[in-house]
Amino acid sequence: MSKKYFYITTAIAYLNGSPHLGHALEIIQADCIARFYRQLVKDVVFQTGSDEHGIKIFNAAKESRMNVEDFINQYHEQFIRLYKILNVSHDYYVRTTSSVHKRGASKLWLKMVENGDLYKSTYKGFYCIGCESFKTSKELVDGICPYHPNRPLIEIEEENYFFNLSKYVNRLIEIYEKDEIRIVPKKRKAEILAILKSELTDVSFSRQKNKMPWGIPVPNDPSHVMYVWADALSNYITNIGYEYDEDKFNSIWPADVHLIGKDIIKFHAIYWPAMLISAGIKVPKNLFVHGFVTLEGLKIGKSLGNVIDPFFLIEKYGSAPFRFYLLKNIPSNDDGSFNVDNLIETYNSALADQLGNLILRVLSFIERDFNGEIPALHDLDKIDEEFIRKFNFMEQLRNFMENFQLNKALDRVWEFIRDTNKYINDTEPWEIRKRGNIKRLSTVLYVLVEALRVISIYIHPFIPSISDKMFTFIGLEPLMDFSNVDFKTDTKGRIGKKEILFPKMQLEKKKNPLQMYDFRVGKVLEAEIHPEIKDFYILKIDIKEKIITVCAKLVPDYKKEELIQEPLVVLTNIKPRKIGGILSEGMLLGGKGSNEKMEIARIKGEPGEQIYIGDLEPMPETITMKRFRKAKIYSSSQKIKIEDKFLKTKSEFARINLKDNVKLT
């Protein structure tokens, strides 16, 4: 079978942590493109997935004292849940721990062996676990990985399989000079050509299993596992039939678009095509490289710890406004900063004022003046004809989408929404009603219903749930294909029930970061020694609204009797995490005394009583352990301070038996 499908992929996320805003951006962009091409009546295959091997995940699971499968499965569930609430329409989800993937990756490996491109040699050098990448000195800045400045590099010296990358350098240069693989934006292509034209050496493509066991065994040599990028990149072919269905594979491959972030371009633009050429497989057509969502100028990523939780944002602002904001305000080809005030402003002006009001205005007229029946079209005036000519701007839209300028495409759609608002303001249907010219009113409203129908089609790739709702409001069959964007003269029907889609949002008062904590008085009801980690207690703590489990490293410093019935300071909104298989839902505050004994913070009060930081009103949000570790919490005159404020209930200070300035954790 020959190629039939438009095939778009995203990077597959590492399952070493919860999804962050960067993941949300990437999947939304990919979903928007996939939906756009479906509406162009193309057969689309949209694949995403997860990258589940490698030392980063292996170490993170070890740190959480979990077995690796359970560790990755918890994050896998979170990614699936995120994609569901974001309305992501992927056709396939590939997991690199699946047998179909492993078989495909092994076949690809063997093809590269057949072509003489994998050989054994000794690797000696640095490795960045954050990037899962062997680093040359040129890639480091002052000996530090620019993407993961907080993570020390590890030194590796071991015999590995090497991939004969240098053999393909000239061919790759030719590919990019002739745009056989198109890289968007162009500046990224220049970046890749520069790397290719500098000295590029062969790359280590395996790890010794006794040093890093969590990977796919190298075929015919189980003492090695594949290098995680060799394994991960092959996901793009393994799941679509490479090893198990040649016809299917040929109908989907080569990929039309690999959508990736800017930090992983080298793997996709250099390693991946070289691997494919080595194995005699066609190279992909386009690499669409998006920038980073930043937060006050910082890259958001798991390893930097400044994750913004997309679940929280979606719950607070809604899935469609969140999609809309990321697509509209983050330039598709460049970095963009995420800002909640900006999200609210964009929502209020574009969604509430321009789109939401437009829908309500038109539908209210039809309800009131035509009893809910879509009015008939009579003679068109010049003003109507001019407006109708604006309905079809597919050529411009296609052009933006083909160049992956999703934000510009969305702006173009909004231009039409503004044109529609202008049409209402210029035709003044309320004045026509006053004049009693029913025929004219009928025509203007007919044109407006048509405009709403066409808007519903155009917005579908960006905010599909709103598009679906708009179709139910206007009571028409949702014919989403772009062939329907021209003005039709025979639309008939009754409008459905309307609702307010976008109630106005208030800009938020600036929150002091210290307001995020939710400290409570907690009374220990039970204490048991942790069955797996002997220096931990499993405590059951009463915080009034519920009894929570907290794992705390207090053995042998505290006897059970010293804890039971004691009111302690408990942080209740730390992200629950498993400690030795037990879910710990809170944290006690403590610090080490001069004799290395752990001292814990106590406070007089009733279970559940709020503990304040100075006079700040708590506005809790889930706190990750990484974020918590950065907090400046310390002892001061046997009390506890966070930054410059004391921790206290309305009447009592929290106390701790430590000299001044001991950091509490």
Q: Which of 14, 126, 253, 537 binds ligand ME8 (CB under 6 A)?
A: 14
Does 12 participate in binding ligand ME8 (rule CB under 6 A)?
yes
Q: Are strands 587-588 and 590-592 parallel, antiparallel or unpaired?
A: unpaired
* Whole-angstrom distance, CA of residue 22 vs CA of residue 292: 7
Interface positions, 295-314, toward ligand ME8 (CB under 6 A): 299-301
- Contacts for 479 with CB less than 8 Å, ≥ 6 apart: 457
Catalytic, out of 107, 299, 460, 530: 299
In this complex, which beta carbon is closest to ligand ME8, that of residue 273 or of residue 567? 273
Which range touches ligand ME8 (CB under 6 A), out of 98-106, 258-266, 317-325, 441-449? Answer: 258-266
Q: Which of 26, 256, 585, 609 binds ligand ME8 (CB under 6 A)?
A: 26
Query: What is the closest distance, in whole angstroms, from the C-beta atom of residue 235 to ligand ME8 in the complex?
Result: 6
Owner of token pair 């699946």: 98
- Contacts for 221 with CB less than 8 Å, ≥ 6 apart: 161
- CB 597 within 8 Å of CB 606: no
The yes-or-no answer on residue 84 being catalytic is no
User: What are the percentages of helix, strand and coil residues in the chain, rounded to 5?
Assistant: 40, 20, 35
Question: Which tokens hold the place of 344?
Answer: 């609210």
Report the greatest alpha carbon distance in the chain. Answer: 93
Does 261 participate in binding ligand ME8 (rule CB under 6 A)?
yes
In this complex, which beta carbon is closest to ligand ME8, that of residue 261 or of residue 429? 261
Does 293 participate in binding ligand ME8 (rule CB under 6 A)?
yes
The yes-or-no answer on residue 90 being catalytic is no
Does 264 participate in binding ligand ME8 (rule CB under 6 A)?
yes
For 160-286, where are the alpha helices, taking DSSP H only? 169-177, 186-197, 228-233, 235-238, 246-252, 265-266, 272-278
In this complex, which beta carbon is closest to ligand ME8, that of residue 255 or of residue 463? 255
Which range touches ligand ME8 (CB under 6 A), out of 64-72, 231-239, 346-354, 433-441? Answer: 231-239
- CB 7 within 8 Å of CB 253: yes
Binding residue count for ligand ME8, defined by CB under 6 A: 21
Q: Are strands 203-204 and 293-295 parallel, antiparallel or unpaired?
A: unpaired
The yes-or-no answer on residue 145 being catalytic is yes
In this complex, which beta carbon is closest to ligand ME8, that of residue 239 or of residue 319? 239
Q: Measured at CB, which residue is nearest to ligand ME8?
A: 261
Catalytic, out of 90, 148, 224, 258: 148
The amino acid at 533: I
The yes-or-no answer on residue 23 being catalytic is yes
213: number of CA atoms within 13 Å, CB side? Answer: 5
- CB 225 within 8 Å of CB 218: yes
Site string for ligand ME8, 378-417 (x = CB under 6 A): ----------------------------------------
The yes-or-no answer on residue 460 being catalytic is no
* Whole-angstrom distance, CA of residue 483 vs CA of residue 488: 11
Write down how long the chain is: 665
In this complex, which beta carbon is closest to ligand ME8, that of residue 161 or of residue 292? 292
Owner of token pair 């039809």: 366
Interface positions, 48-87, toward ligand ME8 (CB under 6 A): 51
Q: Would you please indicate which residues are annotated as catalytic (active-site) residues?
A: 20, 23, 128, 131, 145, 148, 299, 302
- Interacting residues toward ligand ME8 by CB under 6 A: 11-14, 22-23, 25-26, 51, 232-233, 235, 260-261, 263-264, 292-293, 299-301
